[in-house]
Amino acid sequence: MYAIVEIAGQQFKVQKDQKIFVHRLDAKEGKKVEFNDVLLIDDGKKITLGAPAIEGAKVTAEVNEHIKGDKVIVFRKKRRKGYRKKNGHRQSFTALTIKTIKG
């Protein structure tokens, strides 16, 4: 059984006990969060498709930890002009474990 759910503006294909990384959520570590924007549920026999979301369906997840991703270097240069800029960025993520999928 899997579901396609919208979390923090992005769509994820999730299954029970799966670990995913999403953009930082405002939830404390160890707490449970619910997502009601379930777009599709496949239970192996039947596929339920929402328009745009399935009413009454929800995905429950547990917040494992808040982490930062790998550093991304942003380098800008214009040739023959002496223009160079170097900047770095680390994205904040939340690690989730999917607990239940209810249709």
| Extents of the domains making up the chain | 2-102
Encode 30-61: b = buried (16+ Cβ within 10 Å), e = exposed: eeebebebbbbbbeeeeeeeeeeebeebbbeb
Backbone angles phi, psi at 95, to 5 degrees: -90, 125
Asked if residue 94 lies in contact with residue 21, where contact means CB atoms within 8 angstroms, the answer is yes
Write the pLDDT tens digit of every residue in 32-76: 999 999 999 999 999 999 999 999 999 999 999 999 999 999 999
Can you tell me whether residue 47 is helix, strand or coil? strand
Q: pTM, whole model, 2 decimals?
A: 0.83
Looking at residue 103, its pLDDT comes to 84
What CA–CA distance (Å, rounded) separates 78 from 91?
Answer: 26
